[in-house]
Amino acid sequence: MKINPVILSGGSGTRLWPLSREHYPKQLLCLLGEQTLLQQTVSRLDGMKEVAAPLLVCNEEHRFLIAEQLRQIGKVPADIILEPAGRNTAPALTLAALALMKHSSNDALMLVMPADHVIKNTQKFHAAVGEGASLAQKGHLVTFGIVPTMPETGYGYIKRGNGNAVEAFVEKPDAKTAEKYFTSGEYLWNSGMFMMLASVWLDELKRFHPAMLEACKTAHEQGHRDADFYRINAQAFGSCQSNSIDYAVMEATSRAAVVALDAGWSDIGAWSSLWEASTRDAEGNVVQGDVFMHATQNTLLISQHRFLAAVGLDDIIVVETPDAVLVAHKNHAQDVKEVVSRLKSEKRSEYQTHRRVYRPWGSYEGIDAGPRFQVKRLMVNPGAALSLQMHHHRAEHWIVVKGTARVTKGEEVFMLTENQSTYIPLGTKHRLENLGNIPLEIIEVQSGSYLGEDDIVRFEDKYNRTK
């Protein structure tokens, strides 16, 4: 029976701010190695037999980024299901199960994986998946429990019974209780990875949360295809209860089973977790970017934009990006989410976007801004095009720095090459296209009374965007 990887990519990774942000979360970042966490997750089953194409469930805001990352590693998904709003993992898994059952003549064996985990030993992982598959095909709902390496307080635990039986699911413990769990050898970390038949999941969900199942059924049945994506019905899904796989079913079912996994797993849930999962130098430091150290040890130093010097640090986290710098003690890594909460409450953009913002056609980056003006660098991918659009409150000047642009301005259509420019008056329909084979780089100067990204009226868009 084929294994159907179901990859859940709905998280925002607030504890890894400022690298991870709402519009570009941690699963899309290269934190360990040359591939992003999402790409590593998709590639994790390479080499195993009888593995189907992956099915992904993700936030619709990330759809083009996820599709592009799959394309980069040569993976064609079975489908990408878009959630109009986050409802936690149980509804996301239900949407995947419904989709697989709809296109399956019999049943579907699902391997459920969050998109943002790290597993270093793929051979041991494959062996655990094989064990899980045998149990799942017998009707068990299988969870993978991580063999603990320390008395961790940041994870939930699973108490093992005889064989593969689950005796109990346990909430995140305090330090004293975590030490007790660790020394007993009876407990595993709850990884958030599962394996089950789609029909078994749907049967158990109907038993414990019938309203959730009905809401997901309606949302999926009333959804529609949008190019490479499947959009579920937003109104129906909005009525669905938010709940996790653990709380909704696993803690209540009598069909739970656990497979122990000792394969170098980490959920990279905080900067301290990234430090632990990374290769360290002789002084215990993890370094990325243009960094100088003196008398520094056991420290994580990441510099994306400028020179970073560290002197006399121990157990410290420093993460520098073009628009924000984080400095924290490793013991307080979990508290970084409080920064994000503060930024969100103050409606500051730093919790949501980086200075470089990705779009399906490429990206743009803010260079300068002031009263009634801002300057951006636009990078348009080969073959890509911005929508045919108009602005009510701003005019734009475009200067080609690299490549060749085809410009639509009102009724005119013309080409611009390097060092040439044009002016788009306020209220004029316009579009920018890259018909060449190299990236198109544009400097855009905006001027007007309002410069927000929501001042866009779209007339045509090859990516079917409405906002």
Q: If you classify domain 3-266 with CATH, what class do you get? A: alpha beta
8 Å CB contact between 188 and 259: no
- pLDDT at site 106: 87
According to DSSP H, which parts of 2-117 are helical? 37-43, 63-72, 89-102
8 Å CB contact between 274 and 31: yes
- pLDDT at site 16: 97
8 Å CB contact between 359 and 346: no
pTM for this predicted structure: 0.92
CA-wise closest residue to 44 among 142, 134, 113: 113
Report residue 416 as tokens.
């611009």
The Cβ-side half-sphere exposure at 304, using a 13 Å CA radius, reads: 17
Q: Which residues contact 85 (CB under 8 A, 6 or more apart)?
A: 234, 237, 238
8 Å CB contact between 174 and 153: yes
d(CA 181, CA 365): 48
Report residue 314 as tokens.
């121990």
DSSP-assigned states of every residue in 229-288: EEEPPHHHHHTSPP--HIIIIITT-S-EEEEEE-S-EE---SHHHHHHHS---TTS-EEE
8 Å CB contact between 10 and 82: no
CA-wise closest residue to 263 among 454, 139, 160, 121: 121
Whole-number Cα distances in Å, 128 to 115, 116, 189, 259: 18, 19, 15, 7
Whole-number Cα distances in Å, 217 to 7, 23, 91, 96, 304: 19, 28, 10, 11, 44
d(CA 137, CA 197): 7
pLDDT tens digit sequence for 300-349:
999 999 999 999 999 999 999 999 999 999 999 999 999 999 999 999 99
Q: Which residues contact 390 (CB under 8 A, 6 or more apart)?
A: 427, 428, 429, 430, 456, 457, 459
CA-wise closest residue to 189 among 148, 150, 217: 148
Report residue 303 as tokens.
């510099």
Amino acid at 362: G
DSSP-assigned states of every residue in 187-224: EEEEEEEEEEEHHHHHHHHHHH-HHHHHHHHHHHHT-E
What value does the CA radius of gyration of the chain take, rounded to a whole number of Å?
Answer: 24
- pLDDT at site 105: 78
Collapse the DSSP code of 449 into the 3-class scheme (helix H, G, I; strand E, B; otherwise coil) and give the result.
Answer: coil
- pLDDT at site 445: 98
Say how many C-beta atoms besides its own lie within 10 A of residue 207's C-beta: 12
Q: Which regions of the chain are under pLDDT 50?
A: none
8 Å CB contact between 152 and 16: no
d(CA 26, CA 8): 13
Q: Which residues contact 248 (CB under 8 A, 6 or more apart)?
A: 90, 205, 208, 209, 212
d(CA 403, CA 441): 7
Report residue 31 as tokens.
């934190």
CATH superfamily of 357-460: Jelly Rolls (2.60.120.10)
Q: Which residues contact 6 (CB under 8 A, 6 or more apart)?
A: 54, 55, 56, 57, 93, 96, 100, 110, 111, 112, 113
- pLDDT at site 411: 97
- pLDDT at site 425: 97
CA-wise closest residue to 325 among 297, 301, 290: 301
Domains 3-266 and 357-460 agree in fold: no
Domain locations in the chain as residue ranges: 3-266, 276-338, 357-460
d(CA 275, CA 284): 9
